[in-house]
Amino acid sequence: MQSHRLKLALPLAIFVALLVFAACSAPAAPPVVQTVVVEKVQTGAPVVQTQVVEKIQTSAPVVQTVVVQATAAPAQAPEAFVFGAQGEPVCLDPAVITDGISGRIINQVYEGLVKFDKDTTNPVPALAKSWTTSDDGKEWTFKLQEGVKFHDGTDFNADAVVKNFDYWGNTKNPQHDAQIKAGQTFEYYEAQFGGFDENSIIEKVEAVDPTTVKFTLRQPQGPFLNNLAMFVFVFASPTALEKYGVDTCKNPVGTGPYKFVEWKPNEQVTLDANADYWDKANAPKMNRVIVRNIPNNSARLLALAAGEINALEGMEPRDVAAIKDDPRFKLLLRPTNTTGYLAFNYNVKEFNDPKVRQAFAQAINKKAIVDALYGGTGLVAKELQPPSLWGYNPNITDWAYDTEAAKKLLADAGFANGLSEVTLNGKKVPLELWYMPVSRPYYPNPKDIGTAMAADLAKAGINVSLQTVDWATYLDRRAKGELPLYMLGWTGDNGDPDNFVCYFFCMSADDKPLSREGFVNDKELSDLLKKAASTIDKAERTKMYQESEQMLHDKILRVFIANNQPPLALGANVEGYIPNPTGTEYFNTVQVKAAQ
């Protein structure tokens, strides 16, 4: 009898919970009463006056009530700025990471020679005061800030710069070797500077005197300064590096505005203000910064509403619109620097026919997807580079959405009865469209977007079956070329077109197709991009990148779906947060004011 009662109790409990939920959430859809904070008057005396206008919306004429509240004592300004992150940092040693969640913390603790300015990807001085470059672009000389100390008291000087570069790029360096043996990789150094030791574009780094450091490059590199501004090329205290070795992950020591205090796994990372910060003009405004790990989108938003955190990233598209209209929150958008696309695997025989690829490009209604599933922060993409990047080609007209044209193209390509099966490496397989299991800035909800794309494709006679698998396996199977058709995207790291276009469409050094391009074999495009990377003149490079976008468009090597401006939600009392296109902001300008 006991178990029988329980069996009834479970569905009943669900029902009651649903009813309660429905009752709670119903008013959220059509707001009947809206509270708008109109003005905050701060008098010199400790009296804070807040004027609140309550607007009551009814079908009858609008009634306005003005409520003036006066609080006797000023609320205490909070000590800490708490940021709600989407996940756990991987490691706090900048040399061995690639993820933005770690990168955001690293940006507060460490500094490099240059950094990205405010809401742009323009490199501006950080630990380097100024720099000069030789005419052939192979020699760079940086003048360093004086009197800068690491958090452990070690002096920052040219020697520290040399030691850090040696740690990153010299495989014989004992700390480098220890990291490799511990299973870490220096992935970004390899990607941005062409490899290690003799393969690296950086031939040598020398300390000319304590405040001057000279780089000699094997060949000129267009995006060199932008690369140096990335959050991975920042300097750790050489003393600490030696002391902690592979444990630098848990013991970051830099020169930045905030000092590392503790990392509670799966909970939070705590940083304290660096009282001796060298750059008094940009000194930290808060005593403490806490980055909390809240993986669930709804839970993170609820934490913000409850005041447990002051800012967050990653929201359900539908929540974005609600936050925009809610006076308790501020909505900030990062400048677009991200592109979501549908990639073809060129080992699939059918995808080597441009007509088939064009059918895909014309079958998908990008505008409807962007309008409905991006919460108003998305833009329709027609190129790999987002419009904010200087290699973007403004003269390209996107393929028009036209189901009938797509059908006709398919018929011309010999698939009059539609396409449901493809030939992958000589084997017939069902045409699968893989959608990502995680939300990323370029695809805030890959399952919904994939479902919408699949319906558009089916209307044109392309019958895909939707598939997914866990994130690591997804990336791995893609790298092995096992996915015939897949959704993925890219967020720019350093504001250089090279980082977008060449990353995918430059073939290997010996001109072999790479898996991250879906094995596309296009030497013409690859040669153009490689030439652009080793050119210094920006006008010339711009022309080449625009040309490459035209080629990508004409050949339909990929279908670009959307650019997104990833949204950030802040409490109304947070000021000075400057959203950066790279997605990893500096918190020294952020200030949390007393609650209103």
Partner 1 sequence: MSTSITTTAPTAPPVAKSLTRPPRSLWRDAGQRLLSNRLAQLGMVIVIFFLFLAIFVPVLFPYNPRIDSDLASQLQPPSLEHPMGTDEQGRDVMRRIAHGAQASLGVGIGAVLIAVIIGTVLGLVSGYVGRSLDLGLMFGMDILLSFPGLLLAIAVVALIGPGLRNSLLAISIVSIPIYARIARSTVLSLKQQEFITAAHAVGAQGGRILSRHVFPNSLSPILVTATLGIAAAILETAALGFLGLGQQPPYPEWGAMLADSVKYLTSGAWWVLLFPGLMIMLTVLGFNLLGDGLRDALDPRLRAN
Residues that bind partner 1 (CB under 8 A): 4, 7-8, 10-12, 14-15, 18, 21-22, 25-29, 297-298, 301-302, 316, 318-319, 322, 365, 368-369, 371-373, 445, 447-448, 450-452, 454-456, 458-459, 463, 465-468
- CB 35 to partner 1: min, Å: 17
At 264, give phi and psi (nearest 5°).
-90, 115
- For residues 450 and 465, what is the distance between their CA atoms, to the nearest angstrom? 10
Q: For residue 147, count other CB atoms closer than 10 A to its CB.
A: 10
- CB 4 to partner 1: min, Å: 6
- CB 110 to partner 1: min, Å: 35
Do residues 33 and 16 lie in contact, with contact meaning Cβ atoms separated by under 8 Å?
Answer: no
237 or 445: CB nearest partner 1? 445
213 or 312: CB nearest partner 1? 312
Strand, coil or helix: 331? strand
9 or 70: CB nearest partner 1? 9
Do residues 349 and 519 lie in contact, with contact meaning Cβ atoms separated by under 8 Å?
Answer: no
301 or 568: CB nearest partner 1? 301
Amino acid at 294: I
Identify the CA nearest to 436 among candidates 416, 424, 451, 420: 451
- CB 447 to partner 1: min, Å: 7
Q: For residue 225, count other CB atoms closer than 10 A to its CB.
A: 20
Crossing angle for the helix pair 366-373 and 446-459, to the nearest 10 degrees: 150
314 or 579: CB nearest partner 1? 314
Do residues 457 and 373 lie in contact, with contact meaning Cβ atoms separated by under 8 Å?
Answer: no
- For residues 152 and 155, what is the distance between their CA atoms, to the nearest angstrom? 9
209 or 470: CB nearest partner 1? 470
21 or 414: CB nearest partner 1? 21
- CB 11 to partner 1: min, Å: 4
- CB 374 to partner 1: min, Å: 11
- CB 470 to partner 1: min, Å: 10
283 or 475: CB nearest partner 1? 475
Strand, coil or helix: 238? helix
- For residues 160 and 543, what is the distance between their CA atoms, to the nearest angstrom? 38
- For residues 241 and 151, what is the distance between their CA atoms, to the nearest angstrom? 13
**Residue 429 belongs to what H/E stretch?**
strand 427-430
For the purposes of burial, counting CB atoms within 10 Å of the CB of 534, is it exposed (0-12), middle (13-18) or buried (19 or more)? middle
507 or 570: CB nearest partner 1? 570
- CA-to-CA separations, 486 to 219, 360, 435, 469, 475, in angstroms, rounded: 36, 13, 6, 12, 10
Identify the CA nearest to 533 among candidates 226, 310, 299, 106: 226
Do residues 345 and 483 lie in contact, with contact meaning Cβ atoms separated by under 8 Å?
Answer: yes
- CB 21 to partner 1: min, Å: 7
- For residues 252 and 236, what is the distance between their CA atoms, to the nearest angstrom? 7
- CB 79 to partner 1: min, Å: 28
22 or 72: CB nearest partner 1? 22
Strand, coil or helix: 380? strand
- CB 425 to partner 1: min, Å: 21
141 or 467: CB nearest partner 1? 467
- CB 95 to partner 1: min, Å: 36
Amino acid at 126: A
297 or 542: CB nearest partner 1? 297
Q: For residue 138, count other CB atoms closer than 10 A to its CB.
A: 17
At 56, give phi and psi (nearest 5°).
-105, 120
Tracing tokens 């290997």 back to the chain, one arrives at 508
Do residues 36 and 17 lie in contact, with contact meaning Cβ atoms separated by under 8 Å?
Answer: no
- CB 473 to partner 1: min, Å: 12
